[in-house]
Amino acid sequence: MKNIVKILFSCSLLLTACGTDDTEKTSSEPVTPDNELNLDFDQRARREVEAKLQIPVTEKYTFKVYKEYINADTIQDAIITVNRMEFAINDAIKKNKQAKMAEIGFMGNYNFFFYYDGATDQFSVPLPVPSSPGRPLEVSFQNMVSDLTKDVIIDYRIRNSGWRSYFSVFNETDLTLVFQWKLFDYAGEKNPEALLHVLEASRAYNGKDILIYNSEIDHYSQNIGDMYQYVPSISKRNKLAYRFYFEPKFGKYTLYKTGPGSERAQEFIDKSRR
């Protein structure tokens, strides 16, 4: 499927466990397409994941399917997430960098997702999300850019911070990153940072705006236990910091030229584009 996904991931802005039972076999016989093998969707998706990421049969990894009607047609689509924590650890051991990688939360390309378009019956290439694999990607869906499509929201961790990326579908098959921003930072430290994301009907445009509030973590304690099991509860307590709207001309969310935090947010955006 040509151009199924367009990802403009900014590195500056970053960034059910299962063992496989199938064994790889070498054969000179013609290969039967997956959709002709009477496999259910999860089995087909797993075959795609293992083939495209070259996952060996001995590796344990996390695999999850999120089904939704993402584009404007009437055929169900899906997002498939893959977490390769075991591979991250073994990769660090192989490179003799266990201590260093553990210190930075095994940060790297060990979390992936795939976009499946139901109408074309095609899976995208694996899309890496540079992050800490101690916690798998978390996916949700919302109507944002249009009421006719569902936008894909992906949460992930980078060490002791949490981030959120928003993807929208265009031309039925092109899944594109339209916005990303931090959720929290410095978890487990004395003065954590918390940002609440709120979706609200746009004041002047179609779809929804994204509002970012400087906030606080509810009932915060530095003793948070396992960093990657920790899920902070964040409530809206302070004033609006930033408000973004979707600009069709750029295919991205853009800061209102006037309003809360316009200068500070623009500085952040400019730095991320360098």
Q: Please provide the average confidence, as pLDDT, over all residues in the chain.
A: 85
pLDDT bin (cut points 50, 70, 90) of residue 247 is very high
What pTM does this model have? 0.81
The pLDDT of residue 36: 55
Least confident among 21-25, 67-71, 155-159, 269-273 = 21-25
Would 53 be classed as within a structural domain?
Answer: yes
Would 190 be classed as within a structural domain?
Answer: yes
Percent of the chain residues topping a pLDDT of 70: 80
- The structural domain count of the chain equals 1
251: left (phi over 0), alpha (psi -120 to 50) or beta: left
The total of other beta-carbon atoms located within 10 Å of residue 3's CB is 9
The pLDDT of residue 35: 56
Would 144 be classed as within a structural domain?
Answer: yes
The pLDDT of residue 203: 81
Bridge-based pairing of strands 240-247 and 174-185 is unpaired
Per DSSP (E only), the strands in 91-190 are 111-117, 122-123, 127-128, 138-142, 151-158, 161-170, 174-185
Supply the range of the domain harboring residue 78: 5-22+32-272
pLDDT bin (cut points 50, 70, 90) of residue 33 is low
Whether pLDDT at 184 is above 70: yes
Whether pLDDT at 156 is above 90: yes
Instruction: Give the Cα-Cα-Cα angle 20, 23, 24 (nearest 5 degrees).
Output: 120
Percent of the chain residues topping a pLDDT of 90: 73
Would 27 be classed as within a structural domain?
Answer: no
pLDDT in tens, 231-245: 999 998 878 999 999
More confident residue, 14 or 104: 104
Bridge-based pairing of strands 60-68 and 18-19 is antiparallel
DSSP 162: E
**Span 244-253, mean pLDDT?**
94
Those residues with Cβ within 8 angstroms of residue 143's Cβ, 6 or more apart along the chain or in another chain:
149, 150, 151, 207, 208
Would 140 be classed as within a structural domain?
Answer: yes
User: Residue type at 16?
Assistant: T
Contact between 124 and 175 under an 8 Å Cβ cutoff? The reply is yes
pLDDT in tens, 34-90: 555 689 999 999 999 999 999 999 999 999 999 999 999 999 999 999 999 999 999
pLDDT in tens, 252-267: 999 997 665 555 555 5
Dig out the tokens for 247 from the structure. 């600009």
